[in-house]
Amino acid sequence: MIYPINHDQQVLQQPARPATSADRQLAEALVTTLTAHQDHCIGMAANMIGFPVSIIAVSLGPVNVAMLNPRLVKKAHPYQTKEGCLSLTGTRSTTRFERITVAYQDLTGAQQELELTGLAAQAVQHECDHLRGILI
């Protein structure tokens, strides 16, 4: 299912609750919604489609990956950048890290850990901010 993009800042600023195995369909819908917006979007958090649940979906090259309960476990090399967001208008300045390690659960519930750099790392950081109710 493809969900509409949420623009309600009150919903976007709510911290997400932890995801459970019951949220698998929501994670799959988030990936489907990201795929529908792939020409202008590389990541989404569940609250961007109206659900304050700790799930993100990110484009990692040719595949879109759902991450349940993602958390940054390592980060290095901060830099300043500007970002946009489907839920907000315009771009804003923010600090990101060039290299991160993110721990998360995949759709089967298995624990995963992934090292990312560049734009993929930036997208994961942006979406993890969404889960904490932080808007750029």
Enumerate the active-site residues.
127
CB neighbours of 118 closer than 8 A, spacing ≥ 6? Answer: 98
Q: What is the 3-state secondary structure (H, E, C) of 40-72?
A: CCCEEEHHHHCCCECEEEEEECCEEEEEEEEEE
Name the burial class of residue 83, with classes exposed (0-12), middle (13-18) and buried (19+) by CB atoms within 10 angstroms of its CB.
middle
Q: In the 8-state DSSP scheme, what is residue 15?
A: P
Distance CA 134, CA 131 (A): 7
